[in-house]
Amino acid sequence: MTTPFDDDHLREECGIFGIYRHAEAARHVALGLHALQHRGQEAAGIVAFDGARFTAHRAMGHVGDVFESDRVMAELSGYAAIGHVRYATFGATILRNVQPLFADLAFGGLAIAHNGNLTNAMALRRRLVKEGCIFQSTSDTEVILHLVATSSKGGEIDRLIDALNQIEGAYSLVALTEGMMMGMRDPLGVRPLVMGRLDDGAMVFASETCALDIIGADFVRDVEPGEIVIVSDEGIRSLKPFTTLKPRFCIFEHIYFARPDSVVEGRSVYDVRKQIGAELARESGLPADVVIPVPDSGVPASIGYAAEAGIPFELGIIRNHYVGRTFIEPTQQIRNLGVKLKHNANRPQLQGKRVILVDDSIVRGTTSLKIVQMVRDAGATEVHMRIASPPTTHSCFYGVDTPERSQLLAASHDVEGMRKFIQADSLAFISMDGLYRAMGEVRRNPDSPQFCDACFTGDYPISLTDHWGGDEDQSRRRRAAG
Enzyme catalytic residues:
14
Element (H, E) at 136: none
Q: What is the DSSP letter of 217?
A: P
Report the candidate in 320, 269, 323, 313 with the shortest Cα–Cα distance to residue 296.
Answer: 320
Give the CA distances from residue 18 to residues 229, 288, 298, 448, 454, in Å, rounded to whole numbers and listed in that order.
12, 48, 30, 33, 29
Task: Round to whole Å and give the CA distance between 370 and 426.
Answer: 15
Q: What are the residues facing 400 on neighbouring strands?
A: 12
Report the candidate in 473, 469, 363, 346 with the shortest Cα–Cα distance to residue 418.
Answer: 363
- Tell me the angle at which helices 415-422 and 366-377 cross, rounded to the nearest 10 degrees: 50
User: How would DSSP label each residue in 38-97?
Assistant: GG--SEEEEEEE-SS-EEEEEEES-HHHHT--HHHHHHS-SSEEEEEEE-PPTT--SGGG
Strand bridging mode 14-20 / 203-206? antiparallel
Query: What is the signed CA dihedral for 27, 32, 37, 41, rounded to 10 degrees?
Result: -40
3-state secondary structure 8-44: CCCEECEEEEEEECCCCHHHHHHHHHHHCHHHCCCEE
70 prior amide bond cis, ω within 30: no
Backbone angles phi, psi at 469, to 5 degrees: 80, 25
CB atoms within 10 A of CB 373: 15
Task: Round to whole Å and give the CA distance between 157 and 56.
Answer: 23
Report the candidate in 427, 35, 452 with the shortest Cα–Cα distance to residue 252.
Answer: 452
- Tell me the angle at which helices 141-150 and 121-130 cross, rounded to the nearest 10 degrees: 40
452 Cβ contact list (under 8 Å, min separation 6): 170, 188, 190, 248, 249, 250, 251, 398, 461
The residue count for the chain: 482
